[in-house]
Amino acid sequence: MRLFHIVSVDDWARAVEAGGYEPPSLAAEGFVHLSFADQVAGTANRYYRALDDLQVIELDSSAVESILRIEDTTGSGVQFPHVYGPIAVDAVTAIHPLERDGTGDYVFTPGA
């Protein structure tokens, strides 16, 4: 299963140097927020609209060593993948650009 996480270029570079990725949400909420491919743009536009220099790391779910759950943690009726632990750098299979369209909205098509 392909999973995706939005991260700044600088934060990912630090994670690669450290050999693992532990975003602030892991300490604050106990998990790392992920998305399925069709959820990435919506998440980026809702939570990261004011930020630039973002990229999307693609994870192979079978390489994620921490607990992985698909769940609705907000009661919205929409399920998202969450990883309950750090993400190993070697679980990442690709890094994709996160680009904006002509209106300024983030768009995402993995492999495009």
pLDDT at 74: 83
Indicate whether 104 pLDDT > 80.
Answer: yes
pLDDT at 70: 97
pLDDT at 101: 96
pLDDT at 73: 84
Asked whether the beta carbons of 111 and 92 are under 8 A apart, the reply is no
| pLDDT per position as a tens digit, 48-89 | 999 999 999 999 999 999 999 999 988 889 999 999 999 999
Please report the DSSP string for 76-99 in residue order.
SS--EEEEES-EEGGGEEEEEE-E
Note the CATH architecture for domain 2-107. Alpha-Beta Barrel (3.20)
Where do the structural domains in the chain lie, given as residue ranges?
A: 2-107
